[in-house]
Chains A and B, each alone.
Chain A
Amino acid sequence: MRLASWEWFWYVVIGFLMVSGLVYFVTELNAMDIKLLWYEWILGALFMSIFMFMGQTFIASFKEFEPRAAWMTLVFMGLPNILIGAVLVGSVMSRSMS
C-alpha cells in the first residue's frame, strides 16, 4: 500500500495522542484531588483546538508538496501552543503546591 493512502493513519495517531494525553491529565488531576478553574478549562480547550488544527495543517502541507509550510506551521502554532500549555500546567501546579 502506498504511503499516500495512509493519511488517515496520521490522524488516528494524533487522535490517539490527544485522547491519551487528556485521560492522563484528568487521571492525574483526580489523583491529586485538583479541580480545574473556569479559565483553565478555556485554556485547555484552546490548547486542544490549536493542537488539532496544527496537526491537520502539518500533515496536509506535506500532502500539498509544501514541506516548508508544514514546518512553519509547527513554529507559528506549536510554539504559542506550548506557551498556552505551560500557562495551564503552571496554573494548576501552583494551586496544587499551595
Chain B
Amino acid sequence: MTRPVSRKRRYHSTVSGRNIMKMLGFGAGMLGVVAATGPRGSFKDLDDMKSSPLAKRYLPFWVKEVDKPTVEIDWDNMEIMEGKHKTLFNPEAWPDINDYMKIHQTNIKSTTRRVQDKTPGLSLKDRALGDANCWGWGALSSIAPEWTGPDVEAYEKWEHPTMFYTPEDYGVPRYEGTPEENSQMLRVAGRILGASDMGFVQLDKNIKKLLYGNIRFEKVDKGYEDKKTHSFVLPDKELWAICSVIPQSSWMNRYTKRMSWACSNTAAYSQANIFSNRLNVFLRGLGYQYYGGDTAAIGRLVGFGVMSGLAEYGRAGIMVSPQFGMNFRTVLVTITDLPLAVTKPIDAGITQFCHACKKCGEMCPSGAISMEDEPFWGGEAAYQAKGIKGWYQGSKKCYSYMLGGEPDCSRCQTVCPFTKYDKAVMHDLVRMFIAKAPKLHRLIRIMDDVFGYGSEPDLSKTPWDLNPMDIPLFGRDPSRS
C-alpha cells in the first residue's frame, strides 16, 4: 500500500531552493552568505523560504489596505498607450522633433564645456564614474532581456552541471503552490535578488489597460515577440503582473542635481535590469512563463505600482511609498502564469498629505510639478495617462531640464518628506501622524523644512574627497532599501 505523501513533502522533492540558487548562478558560496545573513539562518528549500517571516507583507499599522487606490481613476476614460515609442524619452513622441534634438545639442555643449572647464562634480572623472554606474541600462549597453526572458546557458565544465536546469530537465513537474504561498515565495526571492518590495496584480480588464497597446493576447501556449509588427504577444489565459521596485541611493541622490557622478537613478536602472534577469531565471527554474520585466517597460508603471499597493500616487506624478518615500527606481513589471495572491492598493495618507505639502513642486528646478491645490483630470499629452485624477507632471519640462545640460536631477525624490533614512525612530512617528492626523500635515511640512531635510549637502566635498570606507557599498545606504 502506498503511503500518502503530504503536499508539502511532495514539493520539497521537486525543485529545491539550492537548485534555484544554482540556476541563479549563486552556487554554494552565495548559499553560505544567505545562510549567514538570513533571518532564520538559511532557507533549506522553497517551502522554508515561504514560511519565513520575511515572506509576509508587513505594513505599519497606519498603512491601510484599501479596495481602491487613493488616486481617483476613471477606467472608462483610460486610454491604452501605444507603446514605449510614445514615452517622452523617444523623439517620436515629440510633436516637433527639433525640440528634442535642440535639447540634445544643448546637453552636449553644456556637458562638454563643464568637462573642459573641470567644473567640480562635473569633470571628466565625474562623468566617467556616472557612465560606469549606469552600464547595463540604455540602448547600447543594455543587459535587458528579450521579451521572453534572458537566454541562459550553463558552461559545461562548470562545477554545477545542472545550472539553469528547468523542471523538465530534472524530469519533475513544475513547482506547485497556492497563490498565497507563491506570493510569499516571490517576496522572499525578490529581496534576495535585489528588489526593495514587490506587489502583485492580476491582469483583469482594467489592469490590461495599463499595458502598452503593442501588447496583444492570442490563443497560444506561450507568448512571443512579433518582430515584423514590433508587437508582443501574451497567451490569452490567467496571468499576473509581478511589480518590483528597485532601491536607489539616498546618499547619491542628494548630489544628483549638481554632480554628474551621482547618477543614483541610472545606477538603479542598471541594477534593475540585473534583477529582471534574475527574476526571470527564477520563474524559469520553477517551470513558469515570464515576459518583460526589464527597464524597457511594458506599460504605465506608476499605475501598476499604485494598483499593486507598492505606493500611493503623489504630487510629482510618480509614486510615494510609506517605507521608501520617493526614493526607489521604476516598477519592473514581469508577467507570469504563476498563480499569485494579489496585493491591494494602500492608504497611508500620502496623497492627502501631498495636498498640503507641495515641497517637491517648490524645489523642482524645472517647474514641472503642479502646484495646484487639488488634483485634476488631465493627461492631454501623449506620454500622460488620461483617466487619473491627480497632479499631472509637465514631464517635458523635467526632461528638457535634465537632458538640456544639467546633470540628472531627482530633486523631487530627494526632498519628499517621506524620503528618509531609517535610523531615527522619529520618522516612523511622523509617518504615523501623517496617516492618522491630517490636520497636522501643514505643520509637519514646516517642521520638515526647519529640521533641514531636503537641503542640499556640502557641495565643496565630492566623493573624491571622502574616506572610501565612509561611502555606502554600491553608493546605496542600507536604509529603507
Q: Which residues of A contact B (CB under 8 A)?
A: 2, 4, 53, 56-57, 60-61, 63-69, 72-73, 76
Contact = CB atoms under 8 A, between A and B. Distances in A.
Interface of B: 251, 254, 420-421, 423-426, 447, 450-453, 455, 457, 469-470, 479
5 contacts: A61-B424, A64-B423, A64-B424, A64-B479, A66-B453
A65 B457 contact: yes
A52 to B, nearest CB: 10
Contacts of B447: 76
Contacts of A65: 251, 254, 421, 457
Nearest to B421: A64
Contacts of B455: 68
Most buried by A among B420, B423, B425, B447: B423
A60 B425 CA distance: 8
A53 B469 contact: no
B451 A72 contact: yes
A64 B421 CA distance: 6
Nearest to B467: A2
Contact of A69 (B254, B452, B469, B479): B452
Nearest to A69: B451
Contacts of B479: 64
A7 to B, nearest CB: 9
Contacts of A2: 469-470
Contact of A72 (B420, B421, B452): B452
A60 B452 contact: no
B425 A53 contact: yes
A60 B469 contact: no
Contacts of B426: 53, 57, 60, 73
B425 A63 contact: no
Contacts of B469: 2
Given A2-B469, A4-B470, A66-B453, A57 B425 contact: yes
Contact of A63 (B421, B450, B452): B421
B424 A57 contact: yes
A56 B425 contact: yes
A76 to B, nearest CB: 8
Contacts of B453: 66, 69
Nearest to A2: B469
A68 B454 CA distance: 11
Nearest to B455: A68
A66 B425 contact: no
Given A57-B424, A67-B452, A69-B451, 5 more contacts: A60-B424, A65-B421, A69-B452, A72-B452, A73-B451
A60 B451 contact: no
B420 A64 contact: yes
Nearest to A54: B426
A50 to B, nearest CB: 12
Contacts of A76: 447
A70 to B, nearest CB: 9
A57 B451 CA distance: 12
4 smallest CB-CB distances across A and B, nearest first, come from A68-B452, A60-B423, A60-B424, A64-B421
Contacts of A72: 450-452
Contact of A68 (B425, B451, B470): B451
A66 B452 contact: yes
B451 A63 contact: no
Contacts of B420: 64
A3 B68 CA distance: 47
